[in-house]
Amino acid sequence: MLHTPSGGAGHGAAATDSGLMSIGTVLNVLREDFPEVTISKIRFLESEGLIEPQRTPSGYRKFSAGDVERLGQVLRMQRDHYLPLKVIREHLEAMERGEDVRLPALGRAPAGEDVSEPSDAPTAARIGRAELLAAAGIGEEELAEWESYGLIAPVAEGVYDAEAATVASLVVELGRSGIEPRHLRVMKAAADREAGLVDQVVAPLRRHRNPQTRAHAEARTKELAGLAVKLHAALVQSALGVRLP
């Protein structure tokens, strides 16, 4: 649960100056529960209409406690339920109207099965092509281009893993700074090599006769993937001579 300073107003409501927070303060609050969140991510969610912080006369963002709580809800639904932003926005709007709504289930089903129905199998969450397009705010032509560069690939006809929505959102955000999808092929190649290294370590665990050892493979994969992501980020920051907040 997020712990926000007192005195804030709900989403879209007025608040006194003493109850408002800068984007840096919001970042520190959110990182207690979401260590990977960045200022760019917060700005992106604002640009997608998920939050509406107030602005000072000089243009600085000021967030209420309600804004921070709403951000936490959005990030939690992305992390825990793999929901695209369009679905999250509709869910929050329904809640604000006082409707009794349940989180939609983006099926945790093997490729080829109905992606709207949950499964007990420990497979990755899936989203449909239409959901991916809506989440990224792009058209078929753009998605086809990204697929041609290998940035996004379906796991089955018209079905993608939930991480594709995150990749698509980041490709869009980088594009706003002039970094085109074709420029990102080098990042995809590096990611594939890193994934290959992790797979070499984990593969023997997956093939083991002991079921407990095989089950441990998934946890080990997540652990190594997390370390690889942190190392990659640190190397990029070091190469650029910057340190991200």
H runs (alpha helix) in the chain? 23-30, 39-47, 65-81, 85-96, 129-136, 140-148, 163-175, 185-206, 211-240
Q: What pLDDT was estimated at residue 109?
A: 38
pTM exceeds 0.75: no
Instruction: Return the SS3 of 86.
Output: helix
Q: In this structure, are residues 92 and 74 in contact, taking their beta carbons and an 8 Å threshold?
A: yes
Q: Quick: pLDDT tens for 33-53.
A: 888 888 888 988 888 888 999
CA distance 51 to 9: 13
**Under 8 Å CB-to-CB from 7, ≥6 apart: which residues?**
15, 16, 18, 19, 65
What percent of the chain lies above the pLDDT cut of 90? 20
Mean pLDDT for the chain overall? 79
Q: Quick: pLDDT tens for 203-215.
A: 888 787 777 777 7
| Nearest of 6, 2, 19 to residue 71 by alpha carbon | 2
Q: Is the pLDDT of residue 4 over 60?
A: no
Q: What pLDDT was estimated at residue 29?
A: 93
